[in-house]
Structure 1
Amino acid sequence: MTTRTPTILLLDQDDMLRKMTAVLLSSRGAGAVSPAATLDEAIALAHEAPYDVLLIDRSETMPAARELMDKLRQEGLTPARVVLCTDTPADVDDATDGTEVLLKPYAFDRLVAAVFGRPAPQSEPRVPGRATARVPRRTPTATVGGTSRPRQRASAQKRTERRTSTATPLAVGTRSTARTRRTSGRVVRSPAPPPRVARGRRRPG
Structure 2
Amino acid sequence: MKKVLTFVLTGLAISVAASAWAEGGNAEAGKTKSATCAACHGADGNSVNPEWPKLAGQHPSYIAKQLANFKEDARVNPSMSPMAKPLSEQDMADLAAYFSSQAAKPGEADQTKVALGEQMYKGGNNATGVAACAACHGPTGAGNPASNFPALNGQHATYIKNQLNAFRKGERANDAGKMMRNVAAKMTDAEIEAVAEYIAGLK
TM-score normalised by the shorter chain: which range applies?
under 0.3
Larger Rg: 1
Q: TM-score when scaled to structure 1?
A: 0.21
> With CA pairs under 8 Å and 6+ residues apart, which has the higher RCO, 1 or 2?
2
**Bigger strand fraction:** 1
